[in-house]
Amino acid sequence: MDRFFIVTGRPGSGKSTLLAALAEQGLPHMPEAGRAVIRDEVARVYQELGYVLVTLPLALPDERSTFVQHWIAKLQT
């Protein structure tokens, strides 16, 4: 029987990081769309104002890496 998980949490809690790690492990997942919607809307508004939006990658603290490893192990069982 297939199991499904819904990942929720406040901004910055590691949802997107967990989904990226699942993808790296080759585990089935659905991409998180909320971040892309916000990014696209911010980019549109900035473009209308004449600004250029540059998004830098977030460095992962050790705690978040441990969190991701924990959930990958849990989802693989």
For the segment 18-57, what is each residue's pLDDT rounded down to a tens digit? 888 888 888 888 777 777 788 888 888 888 888 876 665 5
* pLDDT value, residue 47: 85
> Where exactly are the structural domains of the chain?
15-26+35-76
DSSP state of 61: P
Is pTM beyond 0.75? Reply is no
At how many degrees (to 10) do helices 15-24 and 62-76 cross? 50
Q: What is the pLDDT of residue 55?
A: 62
Rounded (5°) CA angle 64-68-69: 115
Alpha-carbon distance of 75 to 67, in angstroms, equals 12
φ and ψ at residue 18, rounded to 5 degrees: -65, -45
Q: What is the pLDDT of residue 34?
A: 75
From the list 32, 24, 27, 36, the residue with the least C-alpha distance to 6 is 32
Query: Which of 64 and 30 is assigned the larger pLDDT?
Result: 30
